[in-house]
């Protein structure tokens, strides 16, 4: 499928099999129509994160985990056993879940390249979606997800759990209340020591893995020993690097605290592979700056800076993940690891009454369930996820090409640079949605 394919054509190709089957399937109405508290949920992607999320859902009263889905037979079976799901509802094809009208919501915890396509299919099938970060593999497809959610009245929660963490909510309120004056700039970091993915080789896929379905909507490339299960993050074809993996958390709460909506207009970046000599295609070292112009007048412009070093254990504030907000009357340090500090003018410590709390995954799941039941508003909806994840994509593009970008925030296009603008989207395989036997 061409990268210039329209939204209508993309959805027509991508969801034809699922929607046709859903229209013919039998089953009861979803919980929202039943007027019940019971929520029926299916898990798509049975890796460690998917199983973790499923356990969080099972801990919410009234939630039934009805399905687990994975194209790897071993993972699928292990997840069904550990999550106490009947073997008959451990399925290889996600459309088995989408076809069941009893299912209210799905958890999408696949590799990155499946996040938006699977979530779009779910929205078109009338489901709500809890989708892991990053919300997309590229900027264009998460815009398509935002539109699909709106068109189908589906709730989509992005897995940036800080948005539901009490410490973060209270800290952002302090910033809005002017605890450090007017916040004009913020810097966040993702600093940790990753391991090398080494050098792999192209071989036949292992027994039990449906590699064709694992690749799914992406163009087919050979199976490689260091590319599937845990390693896909470092490959451009399937992942978004560590900026989209861990960095998106810090970028998200930094953008939130900085108080900027929409996209930046300018992106500049330096970096690359400074340390690892392996097959990985994404930077281990990055410095990326985003400029939000506002109306261009003094007081309305903002800078957001992202810093990444994946070969170090020497990080600011003794914390691998954090952000500093710089205001006209002070500074705030904030980390999803459960740390906060506020300084006034001349670095005088400001006492605060916020209780430190680390990233709260369970609260994020509860918020989603409450929203589906009509009792809450999502804390990290599809648009929120799209705006934060797009920073990761833009930062990776600028770093990859080694030049600054001018971004049209309304058209979501990179201006004056055809090579860079081509990376805002991708090609998709025509045949991936061909109906298969269950």
Q: Is 45 left (phi over 0), alpha (psi -120 to 50) or beta?
A: left
Contacts of 389 (CB under 8 A, 6+ apart): 133, 134, 135, 136, 142, 158, 240, 244, 248
For the chain, domain boundaries: 7-162+362-381
Instruction: Report the distance separating Cα 369 and Cα 14, nearest Å.
Output: 27
Residue 296: per-residue pLDDT: 84
At a CB cut-off of 8 Å and minimum separation 6, what does 271 contact? 283, 285, 286, 287, 288, 308, 399
Signed CA dihedral, 167, 172, 176, 182: sign only: positive
- The C-alpha atoms of residue 290 and residue 391 are separated, in whole angstroms, by 8
- CATH code of the domain occupying 7-162+362-381: 3.40.50.720
Helix (H) or strand (E) holding 247: helix 247-258
Q: How far is CA 88 from CA 50, 91, 100, in A?
A: 19, 7, 14
Write out the two tokens for 140: 């264009």
Mean pLDDT in order along the chain per 10 residues (438 residues): 38 36 34 70 98 98 98 98 97 98 98 98 98 98 98 98 98 98 98 98 98 97 96 98 98 98 97 98 98 90 98 95 98 98 97 96 98 98 98 98 97 98 95 44
Look up the pTM and report it.
0.92
Q: Residue 120 belongs to what H/E stretch?
A: helix 112-124
Q: Which residue has 């089957």 as its token pair?
A: 21
40 C-beta neighbours (distance < 10 Å), count = 24
Q: Give the span between the Cα atoms of 374 and 411, in whole angstroms.
A: 33
The pLDDT of residue 279: 98
Q: Which of 152, 140, 104, 145 is nearest to 372 (CA)?
A: 104
Predicted local distance difference test score (pLDDT) of residue 230: 85
Q: Give the rounded distance of the alpha carbon of 128 from its chain centre.
A: 16
Please tell me whether residue 36 adopts helix, strand or coil conformation: coil
The two three-digit tokens of residue 411, written as one number: 């058209």
Residues in Cβ contact with 348 at an 8 Å cutoff, skipping those fewer than 6 apart: none
Is the distance from CB of 271 to CB of 403 less than 8 angstroms? no
């Amino acid at each position: 499928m061409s990268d210039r394919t329209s939204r209508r054509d993309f959805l027509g190709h991508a969801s034809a099999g699922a929607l046709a089957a859903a229209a013919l399937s039998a089953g009861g109405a979803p919980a929202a129509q039943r007027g019940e508290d019971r929520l029926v949920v299916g898990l798509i992607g049975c890796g460690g994160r998917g199983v973790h999320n499923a356990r969080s859902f099972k801990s919410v009263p009234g939630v039934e985990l009805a399905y687990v889905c994975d194209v790897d037979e071993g993972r699928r079976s292990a997840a069904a056993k550990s999550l106490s799901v009947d073997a008959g509802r451990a399925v290889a094809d996600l459309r088995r879940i989408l076809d069941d009208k009893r299912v209210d919501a799905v958890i999408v915890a696949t590799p990155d390249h499946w996040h938006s396509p699977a979530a779009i299919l779910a929205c078109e099938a009338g489901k709500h979606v809890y989708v892991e970060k990053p919300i997309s593999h590229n900027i264009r497809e998460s815009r398509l997800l935002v539109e699909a959610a709106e068109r189908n009245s589906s709730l989509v929660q992005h897995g940036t759990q800080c948005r539901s963490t009490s410490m973060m909510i209270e800290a952002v309120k302090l910033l809005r209340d002017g605890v450090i004056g007017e916040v004009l700039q913020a810097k966040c970091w993702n600093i940790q020591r990753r391991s090398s993915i080494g050098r792999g080789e192209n071989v036949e896929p292992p027994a039990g893995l449906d590699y064709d379905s694992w690749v799914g909507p992406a163009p087919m490339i050979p199976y490689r020993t260091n590319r599937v299960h845990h390693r896909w993050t470092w490959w451009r074809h399937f992942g978004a690097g560590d900026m989209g993996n861990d960095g998106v958390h810090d970028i998200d709460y930094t953008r939130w605290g900085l108080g900027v909506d929409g996209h930046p207009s300018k992106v500049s970046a330096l970096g690359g592979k400074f340390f690892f000599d392996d097959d990985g295609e994404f930077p281990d070292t990055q410095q990326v700056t985003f400029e939000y112009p506002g109306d261009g007048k003094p007081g309305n412009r903002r800078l957001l800076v992202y810093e990444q070093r994946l070969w170090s254990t020497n990080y600011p504030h003794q914390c691998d993940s954090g952000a500093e907000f710089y205001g006209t009357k002070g500074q705030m340090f904030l980390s999803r690891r459960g740390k906060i500090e506020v300084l006034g003018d001349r670095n005088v410590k400001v006492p605060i009454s916020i209780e430190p709390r680390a990233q709260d995954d369970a609260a994020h799941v509860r918020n989603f369930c409450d929203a589906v039941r009509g009792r809450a508003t999502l804390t990290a909806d599809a648009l929120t996820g799209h705006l934060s994840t797009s920073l990761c994509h833009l930062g990776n593009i600028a770093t990859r090409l080694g030049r600054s970008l001018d971004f049209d925030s309304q058209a979501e296009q990179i201006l004056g640079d055809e090579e860079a603008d081509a990376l805002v989207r991708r090609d998709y395989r025509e045949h991936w949605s061909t109906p298969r036997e269950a």
